[in-house]
A = this chain, B = another copy of it.
Amino acid sequence: MPVTGHTRADAAAPPEGEQRKAASIRDVARVAGVSHQTVSRVINDHPSVRPETRDRVHAVIAQLGFRRSATALALAGGPVRAVTVLTSNTTLYGYAATLQGVEEEARAAGFSVGVSVLDSDEDADIDRALAAAADSGGGVLVIAYDRIGAAALERVPSGLACTAAVESPAGGRIPARPSVWADDRAAAREATAHLLGLGHATVHYVAIPSSSPGARRPSPRAAGWREALQDAGVTPPKPCGKGWDARAGYQAGLALARDPTVTAVLCGNDDLALGVLRALHEAGRSVPGDVSVIGFDDAPHSAYLTPSLSSVRMDFTGIGRAAFALLRDQLDPPGAAARSAVEVAKPELVLRESSLAR
């Protein structure tokens, strides 16, 4: 990098003109009067280089602004230091925050981060993304919070280093790939129990779409909700909702608002909850007066809604970071194969106005 500055004459920057072609290992060798291999050894901290030689080479490296080419390194079979994040979306809060976590950790480790968005769960589409990721050479990190991501995870070829950020796996099942999750099932149970504790006869659930193919399995959030009701001897009502956004929540909310038995609602995420709040408001049912509402994910703005939204805080950034760490362990195996599944800090139920005691 042609950095300017520098106390003494701008020794680092190539003279004044354009930035000529970057210096190679051989350029450094020539100037330092050694062989290119010696330069390589210096770069890689190989022990048997005379201190004097090492210093001289280092000086030339600084002088020429030499930077080792990642491309050449990769071609020569060196370690690759790159991750590609596969995701179906980059704007939804949970996804964006997970990506952010991955990026932070990757940057700290000197990895580059690629993003490939999955348009659908069709094989062709997934393979396209996988191929793109594979020929970058590094590992793949799949955000598998939804059906598309889960489908992509299934198709990752066995030779490719891969980890995933997932929902909490259904009881006892160990994910096929090293994975990271927060126990949202337990959190859903807790949130539901809290609502029941407030005196509600039952709790309705506005679901996020299932991540299992064909929606065979409900999401862990739905499972936790169901369990809490069953523990309390309550027959779970039919979950509603189909979608991820406020609009879907609004539509589900319109139906719920018409049902007088609805006094408590758990939502699969905060966007859905927002739509539900809106629908309840329009129907003249007050929150938390008539209906208590709890969301999921604790998006940053949820605390400022009116009423402020109770929610389950998920450490998405932490999940992203942990997932990257797992991937890194796979790529340069320092001490044997590390853990293959990780559960990060338990989600935390944050109580606000929307679920105050009545």
Whether A159 is near chain B, meaning CB under 8 Å from some CB there, is yes
Q: How far is the CA of A69 from the CA of B76 in the complex (A)?
A: 12
Q: How far is the CA of A291 from the CA of B103 in the complex (A)?
A: 41
| Residue of A103, A281, A303, A304 with most partner-chain B CB within 10 A | A304
Please, what's the 1-or-0 string for A59-84, where 1 marks a CB less than 8 Å from any CB in chain B? 00000000101111011000000000
Q: Across the interface, do A304 and B247 meet the contact criterion of CB distance under 8 Å?
A: yes
Contact A246 to B301, CB < 8 A, known contacts A100-B91, A130-B1, A157-B2: yes
Contacts of A130 in B (CB 8 A): 1
Contact A72 to B70, CB < 8 A, known contacts A117-B107, A305-B274: no
Q: Across the interface, do B103 and A159 meet the contact criterion of CB distance under 8 Å?
A: no
| Chain A: number of interface residues, binned into ranges | 35 or more
Q: How far is the CA of A71 from the CA of B74 in the complex (A)?
A: 7
Which of A132-140, A197-205, A224-232, A332-340 touches B?
A132-140
Q: Across the interface, do B1 and A131 meet the contact criterion of CB distance under 8 Å?
A: yes
Contacts of A136 in B (CB 8 A): 70, 112
Contacts of A281 in B (CB 8 A): 306
Number of copies: 2
Q: Across the interface, do A67 and B100 meet the contact criterion of CB distance under 8 Å?
A: no
Q: How far is the CA of A107 from the CA of B118 in the complex (A)?
A: 10
Whether A167 is near chain B, meaning CB under 8 Å from some CB there, is no
Interface residues of A (CB under 8 A from B): 1-3, 5, 18-19, 67, 69-72, 74-75, 89-91, 93, 96-97, 99-100, 103-104, 107, 112-117, 123, 127, 130-132, 134-137, 157-159, 245-247, 249-250, 271, 274-275, 277-278, 281, 300-301, 303-306, 308
Closest 6 CB pairs of A and B: A246-B304, A91-B96, A278-B304, A1-B131, A19-B159, A71-B74
